[in-house]
Structure 1
Amino acid sequence: MRERAPLHRQELPDGRSFWSVTRYHDVCRVLGEHREFTSERGSLLHQLGTDDAASGLLLVATDPPRHTELRRPLNRMFSAAGLAATRERIRAAVRGILTPALDGGEWDLAECAAKLPMAVAAQVMDIPEEFWPDLVAWSAMAASPEDPAHAVPHGSPLLVAHHGLFDYFSREFDRRSGTPGDDAIRLLMTMRGGELSREEVVVNCYSVLLGANATTPHTVTGTLLALAERPWIYRRAAAEPAAIPGLVEEGLRWSSAASCFLRHAVRDVEIAGGLVPAGDPVAVWIGSANRDATVFRDPDSFDPTRGDNRHLAFGFGPHYCLGATMARITLRIFFEEFLGFFGEVEPAGEPVRLASNFVSGHTRVPLRTRVRRSLAWHTGERIEAPC
C-alpha cells in the first residue's frame, strides 16, 4: 500500500468504510494537522461509525485549544524532572517482575511484561497494589476487546472493561475529594481550582492508564523477541550499557505497539495523491510509517545503532503520547536490569499474537533465559545469583 496505494479506501461488509494512510509523512500530516483532521469523533478504529461519547472530555477526543488546556498540568508530572523520584521504584518493580525467570527455566515474558506499566502508573496515580490485577485485566480488555483471551461469558469485553475502570476511578474520585496529595488523579481533580467535572476526571484517568498499557509491555516483548532471534545484538547490548537508549528507540520503532489511530477529515483534504471527502474517517498505520524506506534506511532490519530514529511509536503532533518520557525511562530501566540479569535469552516456543486492530503485540511469549553467575548492576551493587 505504501508503494501502490498510499491512500486506500476500505469498505467493510456492513457498509462502513474508511481511508488508510501508510506513508510516514502523510501519517505525520494526519496526526499533526488538527484543523484538517479532528480527533473529536473517535481515535480508535473500533469506534468507526459511532462518534466518541467522550468527545470534548477525554484528552484523546479533544482538539486544541481544549486538548492543550487538559494536557498542560499533566505535562509537568510526566516530564523527566517530575518522574525523577520514581526511578528507583520503577527499578524495584522491574526486579520484582523478573523474579519468575530466575530459576533458569521456561517462562512467559508476555505475562510478566503485562504487569510492568501498572507497576509504574500506580506510582504516579497512587493506586494500591491490591487493585493492580483487576486494572491490568480491564486495561488489556479495553485495548484489545477482539482477542479471544478477553472473552466474557455474557456481553461485551469492552463494556465489562469500561464498567470496571470507570467504576474504580469514580470511587477514587469520591475517596480523594478534599484530601491532600500530589498524584495524577488529585492533580486532575484540582487543576485550576477543580475545573474538571467528575466525569472528565474519570475518563482521563482511564485514558492515562490505557495509554500506559498499550505501548510498554508490547514494546518489551517485541524487542526481546527480536533480540532472542539475534543473539549477537543481545551480547553487544549487554556489553555496552550506553547502547541501551538506542536499543529502546529501535524496539519502539520495530514493535510499533500502538499500530493504528483514527481521525476524521474536517473538510475535503487532498493527501497522498487523492481526495478525502469532508467527514470521512482516516486510519493512520504507525507500523507502516515506521518502515517507510524513504525515512528509515533498511527499515526491515532490527538495528539499535540506527541514527536519527524519528519513529512514530508515540504518535505525532498535539496528541504525542503524554507518557512517552515515562515509557522511555521504564523501558531503559527494564533493559538495564534484564541485560544485567541474563546472559542469554532464547525462544522456548511459538509466540501467540494478540488479536487487535489497535495494539500490535503478544499474549504469550515463552522464553528460556540463563541467569549470570554474578550480577553487576549499573549502580555498582553486586548481587550473587544461581547460574
Structure 2
Amino acid sequence: MPKLLHAAKRFLAGSRLFGAVAGLLLCGAGSVAFAEDTLKITPAVSAREMYDSNVYMMGKGDLEHSLAPSLKVELEQERVRGYVSGLATLYRYSSLSAYDRMDQKYDAFVEMNATERVRVSVTAEAVVDHTFSSTLENTGQIAQLTLREVYGAQPSITFDVTERNTATLFGGYTQTRYGSTIYADSNTTNYGGRWGYQFTERTQAIAQVSQTRIEQSSAHQSVLSTLGGFEYKLTELLKLRLLGGMSSMQSTNAQGQDSSRNGFSADTGVEWRVDETSSVSASYNRDMTSGLNGEDIVRNRYSIFGAKRITEKLQLMLNGNMVMSKISAGSTGTTSTTRWMEISPQAQYQVFEHGTLALGYGYGAQKVEETGVTKERNQVFLNFSISFP
C-alpha cells in the first residue's frame, strides 16, 4: 500500500503541472472561439514485449512487459499554436520484479504572435522517471536505477528585425530531484541569444552564445558556449548544418576546489531525402555538461538514422548512436573515459490506418577505456501502437 500511495502522489504531482500548462495554452488563445479543426485531441496507447539479455547492465536477463498510454492536445489558430502531452509507461518484469516501475513525462509548448514581427513561446516539462536510460544515452555512464523528478520551463522571444534578420533571446530553469542520496539534487539555469541571417533562400548564417549554471548543495558549475556557422540547402533534398565554436567550464567542487577547462564545441548535421521512399540523417555534437554528482564532462555524440519504405505499409529503419565522455571528478582528481554505442534495426508494418506493429533488435555496449571493461546487452522487441485521432 505505501508503494501505491507514493506512485499516486507522483502521478498527481505530474498531473497538476500538466493541467497548469494546459491552462496556459488555452488562456493563450484568449477569448477567441475555437474554429473547426483548431483543437485536436489524440489519445494513444502502445504495448511492448522485450527480451533484454542484460537488464540495467546488472548481469541478468529477463522478459520486460510495458504498457504506455498517452494523450496529446494540439491547438492551431492564427496567432496561437501549441500542444500539451502526457505519457505514462508501466514496466513489469517476469522475474526481476525489483525493477518494476512507472515512468511519466508531460510536455507543453505554446507560441504566440505578439505582433507581426515578434513571437513569444514557452516550453515546459515534468518528468518522473528513473536515471538509468537517460544517463546512459546522454553521457555513456551506467547509473543505478533511482527515482528522478525533473521540472523545467524555457521561455523565448523572437524578433524578425528585417525580412532576413532574426534575433532570439532565450532562458530556462530546471529543477532535478532524486529519490536517493546516491546522486546530488540540482538546479540549472540557462540563458542566451541567437541570431540568424538569411543570405539566400538556401543559405542562413547563425551565431549563438549561451550560459548554463548548475547548482548543487555544495558545488556548482558554469559553462559558457559560443557557436557560429551556417545552414545550407545543397538541393531541395539535401540539407547541411555546420556550427562550431568554443566552450569554457568553471567548476567548484564540494571541497571548495576550483577548476577550469576550455575546448571547442560543435553542432553539425546532414539530412538527405534520397527519394520518395528513403531518407538518411546524421549528426555530430560536442559540448560540456555536468554528471550526476557534479563531475565535469566533455562529451562527443554521434548519431545516424535511415528509413526505407518497402511497400505502402512496410518500412525498414536503422538507428545508431554513440557517445564518448571524458569525465573528471574534481573531488577525487580522477579522470575516466567512457564510450556507449547502440544500434537498432527494426521493421514497422501498418496493420491499419492508425495501428502499427514493429519488430526490432537492439545491441548496446559500454566500455571504460582506462580499465578496458566492456558491458554488452542484446534486446529483441515486439511493439504494437494505436492512436485515436
| Larger relative helix fraction | 1
TM-score past 0.5 threshold: no
How does the TM-score come out when normalised to structure 2? 0.23
Bigger relative contact order (CA 8 A; separation at least 6): 1
How does the TM-score come out when normalised to structure 1? 0.23
Larger radius of gyration between Structure 1 and Structure 2: 2
| Larger relative strand fraction | 2
